């Protein structure tokens, strides 16, 4: 569904350059539900904005489905934003029109797309648990309810990819759980691919996979996969919660290898072993061991 290779985004303001993404690689399978985790300023929103067609990358490749986001014309981009991708913004106010009702808010993107499907708009609001609030104006709803309206809006045009930037950032943990459950249900029932950006590590157990963007500008990609949730996803939806709880929290960490065989080792590991610019590497037929060099002189002799 998503292929990003060597994605670079440089923001230029006056004489200052900010490298927000530096050669980022991300691949997302169709119908996957994954999270992107990283510190503030690590480039999460930048990545999501590029995937959502709101911003163009400075270099690299980015493909979503059959679309090549670098080669699209402006008209195709409008079409892409309208039909393929649903977006939940980090800043809630950007999603919502406060003086319209919840239902009118959901119908708005349908109207812009040329066809209002009221039964579907109502169904979406029902899915997010707002069937009885659909005729309330947005300013009459709580923050968590507004956030759920934002989810319904993002799905109005039946996108195949949902991009959610900190969708649980401003709600309590109960509402956050509820929102994650809604995402999971949508993912299972309509097969939508979901990418969630979050600061919140506790959401990791609720998605199939977590990709962490590290180190701000040097955006190291670092992947954790939760095998239990993949298992869980093929279960029937009933009664799987207990099972999920009982076997979760077993994460395997991966480091990403690029096409020419380079891998990026987390800084903390290198520091722990006091590896600076050279390391020794051994292959025993099964695994590769990277160690601090025994003696730099030995290494230098080999060169
Ligand atoms: N329009 C812009 N112009 C200049 N710099 C920008 C712009 N947008 C983002 N940046 C810079 O790019 C870097 C990445 O920003 P981004 O918004 O992607 O971070 P983030 O991971 O989403 O952070 P947060 O968790 O705080 O939302 C930051 O250093 C930010 O200051
Ligand atoms: Mg952000």
Instruction: Walk along the chain (303 residues) in steps of 10 and give the mean pLDDT of each run.
Output: 90 82 88 88 90 90 92 89 89 82 95 92 93 94 90 92 89 84 90 90 82 56 44 40 37 60 77 86 85 65 51
Q: What is the pTM of this model?
A: 0.74
State phi, psi for 127 to the nearest 5 degrees: -55, -40
Handedness of CA 199, 200, 201, 203 (dihedral sign): negative
Note whether residue 278 is domain-resident. yes
Shared domain check, 286 and 217: no
- The pLDDT of residue 287 is 85
Residue nearest to atom 30 of ligand 1 (CA): 41
Tokens representing 245?
């709880």
Pocket-testing residue among 10, 11, 166, ligand 1, by greatest number of atoms within 8 A of Cβ: 11
Q: Tell me the CA–centroid distance for residue 199 and ligand 2, in Å.
A: 9
- The pLDDT of residue 259 is 65
Note whether residue 281 is domain-resident. yes
Note whether residue 139 is domain-resident. no
Note whether residue 117 is domain-resident. no
Shared domain check, 302 and 232: no
Alpha carbons 203 and 35: distance in angstroms, whole number? 8
Residue nearest to atom 28 of ligand 1 (CA): 41
Note whether residue 119 is domain-resident. no
Atom of ligand 1 nearest to the CA of 47: 18
Note whether residue 126 is domain-resident. no
- The pLDDT of residue 219 is 39
Q: Domain total for the chain?
A: 2
Shared domain check, 273 and 260: no
Q: Count other Cβ atoms within 10 Å, centred on residue 204.
A: 19
CA angle 7, 31, 87 (to 5 degrees): 60
Note whether residue 48 is domain-resident. yes
Alpha carbons 16 and 74: distance in angstroms, whole number? 28
Shared domain check, 227 and 198: yes
- The pLDDT of residue 5 is 87
Shared domain check, 68 and 169: yes
Name residue, tokens 């030995």.
Answer: 298
Atom of ligand 1 nearest to the CA of 9: 12
Which ligand is the nearest neighbour of the Cα of 43?
A: 1
Shared domain check, 247 and 273: no
Shared domain check, 303 and 166: no
- Which residues line ion ligand 2, judged by CB < 5 Å? 44-45, 90
Atom of ligand 1 nearest to the CA of 46: 18
Note whether residue 185 is domain-resident. no
State phi, psi for 258 to the nearest 5 degrees: -90, 180
The distance between the two most distant Cα atoms of the chain, rounded to a whole number of Å, is: 77
Say if residues 51 and 163 touch (Cβ distance below 8 Å): yes
Shared domain check, 287 and 226: no
Shared domain check, 53 and 167: yes
Alpha carbons 226 and 159: distance in angstroms, whole number? 26
Atom of ligand 1 nearest to the CA of 42: 21
Shared domain check, 199 and 247: yes
Alpha carbons 23 and 264: distance in angstroms, whole number? 12
Shared domain check, 169 and 78: yes
Beta bridge partners of 137: 101
The CATH number given to whatever domain includes residue 3 is 3.40.50.300
Shared domain check, 4 and 79: yes
State phi, psi for 176 to the nearest 5 degrees: -60, -45
Residue nearest to atom 27 of ligand 1 (CA): 40
Atom of ligand 1 nearest to the CA of 197: 22
**Structural domain boundaries enclosing 15:** 1-84+161-173+194-264
Say if residues 36 and 203 touch (Cβ distance below 8 Å): no
Q: How would you classify residue 78: left for phi > 0, otherwise alpha for psi between -120 and 50, otherwise beta? A: alpha
Which residues have C-beta atoms less than 6 Å from ligand 1?
11, 13, 18, 20, 38, 40-46, 90, 199
């Amino acid at each position: 569904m998503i292929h990003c290779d060597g994605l670079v985004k440089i923001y230029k303001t006056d004489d200052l350059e900010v490298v927000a993404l530096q050669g980022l690689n991300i691949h997302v399978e169709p119908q996957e539900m994954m999270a992107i985790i990283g510190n503030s300023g690590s480039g999460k929103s930048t990545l999501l904005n590029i995937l959502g067609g709101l911003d163009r990358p400075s270099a690299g490749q980015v493909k979503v489905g059959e679309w090549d986001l670098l080669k699209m014309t402006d008209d195709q981009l409008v079409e892409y934003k309208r039909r393929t991708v649903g977006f939940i913004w980090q800043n809630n106010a950007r999603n919502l029109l406060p003086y319209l009702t919840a239902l009118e808010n959901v119908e708005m993107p349908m109207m812009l797309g040329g066809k209002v499907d009221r039964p579907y708009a109502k169904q979406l609001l029902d899915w997010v648990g707002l069937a009885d609030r659909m005729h309330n104006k947005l300013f009459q709803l709580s923050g968590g309810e507004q956030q759920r309206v934002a989810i319904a809006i993002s799905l109005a045009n039946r996108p195949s990819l949902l991009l959610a930037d900190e969708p649980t950032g401003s709600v309590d943990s109960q509402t956050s759980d509820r929102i994650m459950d809604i995402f999971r249900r949508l993912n299972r029932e309509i097969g939508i691919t979901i990418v969630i950006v979050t600061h919140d590590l506790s959401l990791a157990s609720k998605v199939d996979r977590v990709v962490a963007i590290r180190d701000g500008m040097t955006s190291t990609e670092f992947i954790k996969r939760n095998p239990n949730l993949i298992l869980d996803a093929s279960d029937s939806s009933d009664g799987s919660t207990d099972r999920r709880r009982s076997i979760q929290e077993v994460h395997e960490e991966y480091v990403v290898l690029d096409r020419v065989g380079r891998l990026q080792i987390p800084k903390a590991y290198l520091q722990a072993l006091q590896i600076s610019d050279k390391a020794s590497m051994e292959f025993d037929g099964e695994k590769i061991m990277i160690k601090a060099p025994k003696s730099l002189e030995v290494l230098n002799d080999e060169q």
